Structure 1
Amino acid sequence: MDIEITPRQAAFIRAEADEVLFGGAAGGGKSYGQLIDAFLFALKYAGSKQLMLRRTYPELEKSLIRVSYDLYPREVYSYNRSGHVGRFRNGSILDFGYCDSESDVYKYQSAEYDVIRFDELTHFTEQMYLYLISRVRGANDFPKHVKSSTNPGSVGHQWVKKRFISIGAPDVVHSFKGGTRMFIPSRVQDNRFLLEHDPEYIRRLENLSERDRKALLYGSWDITDGQYFSEWDEAVHVCEPFPIPEGWRRYVTMDYGLDMLAAYCIALDGQGRAYVYREHCESGLIVSQAARAVKELAADDEINTYFAPPDMWNRRQETGKSVAELFAEQGVYLAKANNDRVQGWYNVKEWLRPRLDVDGVKRAGLVVFRGCEHLIESMPALLVDPHNPNDVADEPHEYTHGPDAIRYFLAGRPRPAEAAVERDEDYVPYDDQVNGFLSYGL
């Protein structure tokens, strides 16, 4: 075969990191690079197994399957449409798969692959990715990789950016406890084949909206794709921890399910400003374990109220008791919060909005201590529900638990401290113009 590839595609094919991300701008030849890499791997390692994924089957059929059928020579490759599997004459297999929902990942529960390839990785949730890459295994000597390609944006933008973009310089292999990762950027300007055949493509990208132009023409990861809380600004809403004065009212709020307990300690100052000062996020906890975790989170603090969603008062079939009753048996007495989603999210937006303080400085009504990392990561990751622009989308689901807990707290109309309290003599408040910390002159 006479195969021509770009230097960026060659870098992707040569990449030896455990996890590789190839992409950025549109037109960089990402999907073609995936197909060529899969073809070369299949021929080099006879009997190898690979999985090529898109989020939906129509996307899979109209792009990867169609192009592979035209690209791979019939002398060495055949495709079975009913099974969505490509077979090479040396015994190698290339499965084409999709995941419409998070439960679809279990279709691959018993599968083993030498390489798994995600095309348009940001269309997948983090939970899908983490489960599916566990299928990279096998009792052979073939290299094991997860190779992905994508543009910025969509439901997985935040977690992909965190996993591959924010870890350091591109084109460099970065080592982590679980293996190695690498990001290989590509732009349309890198794909001379496309520009030679379609020189007007860049002009069409330049006519897009500012957000789409940044993502698709420049491959920028500093975009907000349908972000619900556009008010969120880490410089405004995150501060360094400080000792909570004794007179401030303290609350605990939570969202609980077997998939995640997200619980927070929150204190209100004399001006009604809320500080999220402690966090516990953990999955797989049964009710008694969750109750003990919440009790330990509160420690020796004098908690005014424990807020929880209404579904925790539903009776469980196996015990006849509600989760709220089981929490009470552990000494944690819950207050039922309002679960109106739309009005609740509007309320959170109001608390995030900076407002004038008594000293004439604008400060947000809700501030999070650095260290509550799950909440800090989740707030900007929430997306607008595509079916209801007033609500938050269910995906990425892993980011909904912490904000839900905050919504319950604010819906409970928490009361501020009754009076200002003097701080310790050795406590020196920071000035928010200097380093982003909040000082109230209490």
Structure 2
Amino acid sequence: MTPRQAAFMRSEAFETLFGGAAGGGKSHGQLLDALRFAVVYPGSRQLMLRRTMPELERSLVPAAMRLYPQSVASYKVSEHRWDFINGSTLEFGYCDAESDVTKYQSAEYDVIRFDELTHFTESQFTYLISRIRGANPYPKQVKSTTNPGGIGHQWVKSRYIDPMPPDEVHAFDGETRLFLPARLADNPFLCRADAGYEKRLRLLSVHDRRALLDGVWELDEGRYFSEFSPALHIVPPHEIPREWRRYLTIDYGLDMLAALWIAQSPDGRSVVYRELYEPGLIISEAAARILSCEASGEQIDVRLAPPDLWNRRQETGRSAVELFADCGLSFEKSSNERVAGWLALHELLAPRRDMDGEPRPRLTIFNTCRNLIRTLPALQHDRRNPSDTANTPHELTHAPDALRGYAATVFEPPAPSVPTAYDCEVGEFLRF
């Protein structure tokens, strides 16, 4: 056992992330810790997760078969579960699709373990850790291991790396978190057994080498909005002048209602000042939730919805916008141009020097709009069409799609600059 693995096993924080370079012994430490917990706490229940079943069968299952003594536990292949002689269990599970989390809806666990946490979305993680519960006195924990990169890179970085220094336990909303960096040098056993492993990692692309060899979390490759910066784009709530135009833009489906309220200044600057992000709402419920969010007497000048909400439904013969109108909300059609909309949003996010020489974007976001702040920088390029964003994982697309509808409809690119020359005789600039 390495000192880093021992620190992971000793952690009493509610959430522990052991993350960084490949080869640091993270998965092995996860299996050792699960074995220790099962033996120390009779009748305990644990769940260890990978994103897909093939990943489980290639990694954790064979590793556990080599590591766990048959005198202590037996593996039930059909149920992907280790049964210990003291009544403890360790399930191996997966969540390939976003909805797979519901398989664990009625389950109770003392510890849930994520192997390669950045392969999961934040909504999957949040749902699954709600299954940690029980009346026994055993510790209740979330223990995760991962490399940088993957679809969940941004939210994992925001949760564990950005807000706190490593190797220190910090409290957030009454729960404790710990981040333990992993380095290849932490695992001398691998370095001795496979002296060429580091050399092979150095042959990777710059992006993969930084993630897997160096364990670097500042990875921008693949991010669609690389210009997004919390320091520039996220602002504390402030008073919005009454003369600014106010917009509501939505992306709606039964899986998620994403609504953004945006104010636009006379000089074309925009601020997202409120959001609503809620799944499972039928149209009447969605309309009621939107109206309940708006302040008494608040004037919304334009409400925008995507064109698909004008399609008539086969079962009723009426469109979603007609049903919204019945509930007191009338919408105008936003542009559904994906690439043009993303380009307009690039323009709004791009920082430009103001009169004081300071970089200032034309779009800012109140720090209370947590879901937009979470999902917008997590969008990746579509590998088949780099001008577009990837539409998976779908959970990340709702709030950005609502913002794209606003940008594509409202944004007007600046007029092209007109060449000028200075006339020395009259002392002024002449336009051609």
- Offset at residue 387 of structure 1 (A): 4.9
RMSD in angstroms over aligned alpha carbons?
2.8
Matches within 5 A, 1:12-27: 12-27=8-23
Return the match for 2:345 from 348, 356, 376: 348
C-alpha separation in 1, matches of 2:106 and 2:369: 36
> Residue in 2 aligned with 1:211?
207
Letter in 1 for 2:172: F
C-alpha separation in 1, matches of 2:186 and 2:353: 49
> Residue in 2 aligned with 1:105?
101
- Offset at residue 199 of structure 1 (A): 2.8
Letter in 2 for 1:21: L
58-67 vs 231-240, greater mean Cα deviation: 231-240
Change over 3 Å in CA distance of 1:190–1:52 after alignment to 2: same
Does residue 237 of the first structure (1) align with residue 233 of the second (2)? yes
Matches within 5 A, 1:43-442: 43-177=39-173, 179-239=175-235, 243-245=239-241, 247-295=243-291, 296-297=293-294, 300-315=297-312, 321-354=318-351, 363-413=360-410
C-alpha separation in 2, matches of 1:281 and 1:312: 18
C-alpha separation in 1, matches of 2:133 and 2:214: 36
Matched-pair contact (CA < 8 Å) for 1:268–1:415: no
- Offset at residue 170 of structure 1 (A): 2.0
- Offset at residue 258 of structure 1 (A): 4.1
Change over 3 Å in CA distance of 1:171–1:139 after alignment to 2: same
- Offset at residue 388 of structure 1 (A): 4.1
C-alpha separation in 2, matches of 1:412 and 1:337: 6
Change over 3 Å in CA distance of 1:370–1:265 after alignment to 2: same
Matched-pair contact (CA < 8 Å) for 1:30–1:149: yes
Letter in 2 for 1:411: A
C-alpha separation in 1, matches of 2:106 and 2:234: 43
- Offset at residue 236 of structure 1 (A): 3.8
Matched-pair contact (CA < 8 Å) for 1:264–1:276: yes
Change over 3 Å in CA distance of 1:110–1:267 after alignment to 2: closer
- Offset at residue 60 of structure 1 (A): 0.6
Unaligned runs of 5+ in 1: 417-442
Q: List per-residue Cα deviations over 1:168-219 (Å, max 9, x = no partner).
A: 2222222233522221222111111111222333333333333223222222
10-19 vs 367-376, greater mean Cα deviation: 367-376
- Offset at residue 37 of structure 1 (A): 1.0
* Normalised TM-score (structure 2): 0.85
C-alpha separation in 1, matches of 2:142 and 2:370: 27
Aligned length: 412
Change over 3 Å in CA distance of 1:307–1:320 after alignment to 2: same
- Offset at residue 161 of structure 1 (A): 1.6
Matched-pair contact (CA < 8 Å) for 1:171–1:183: yes
Same amino acid, percent of matched pairs: 58
Change over 3 Å in CA distance of 1:278–1:45 after alignment to 2: closer
